[in-house]
Amino acid sequence: MEPRYSRESKCYKTSRVFPTDVNNHNTLFGGKLMSYIDDIASIAAHKHCRRSVVTASTDSVDFLHPIKPSDSVCLEAFVTWTGKSSMEVFVKVVTEDLKTGNRTIAATSFLTFVALDDNKKPVPVPQVVPETEEETKLHESAPQRAELRRIRREESKKLAEFLTMKNPWE
């Protein structure tokens, strides 16, 4: 399989903050931003492998700054690293105060997607080639994050075996 450049999976989305998108602090509702992040990250993964993909995990969403109704919200996503069938996608959220033009990194997130074949089984994906300084830094640090994810997945499986599925009234 031919490797692909990070830039080939890159996508962008810019949105306003509408009154229906805010929380009781009048800043963007976290769940709304998480939905934007999963949405754009899935497109980046899909563009990289040209296969259907599923979200396997979200490492974290770090909300670094509140997002105000007077801001625009721009998300950038691209594939930083690949395993065999999995792809790590980085999402950067940049807000712009529309009155002043000041920009802030409001959130960052790493997600993992898995490419599936027509029988919904994991299928190999092309490797990724970084070019810019940002892409290279994220590519080089990815194996460390993948190892932490592997450990966390084992822990999640053990926890799931222990947890009850009973409803409180049963």
Asked if 80 interacts with ligand COA (CB under 6 A), we say no
Per-residue CA distances from 75 to 12, 17, 41, 160 (Å): 5, 13, 9, 33
- Both tokens of 4, joined, read 């692909």
Q: What number of chain residues touch ligand COA (CB under 6 A)?
A: 13
Tell which residue, 77, 64, 74, 68, has the closest CA to residue 21: 68
d(CA 33, CA 16): 12
Q: Does residue number 48 form part of the binding site for ligand COA (CB under 6 A)? A: no
Candidates 11, 40, 114, 142: give the one binding ligand COA (CB under 6 A): 114
Least distance (Å) between residue 92 CB and ligand COA: 20
The answer to the question of residue 55 lying near ligand COA (CB under 6 A) is yes
Q: Annotate each residue in 116-145 with x if it binds ligand COA (CB under 6 A) or - if it does not, as one string.
A: ------x-----------------------
Q: Is 6 in the site for ligand COA (CB under 6 A)?
A: no
Distance, in Å, from the CA atom of 107 to the CA atom of 18, rounded to the nearest integer, reads 18
Contact by Cβ (8 Å): 105, 64: yes
Q: How far is the CB of 53 from ligand COA (least distance, A)?
A: 9
Q: By C-alpha distance, which of 65, 59, 55 is closest to 25?
A: 65
CB of 138 to ligand COA, least distance (A): 16
d(CA 123, CA 118): 9
Nearer to ligand COA, 84 or 103 (CB): 84
Which residues contact ligand COA by CB under 6 A? Answer: 54-57, 83-86, 112, 114, 122, 149, 153
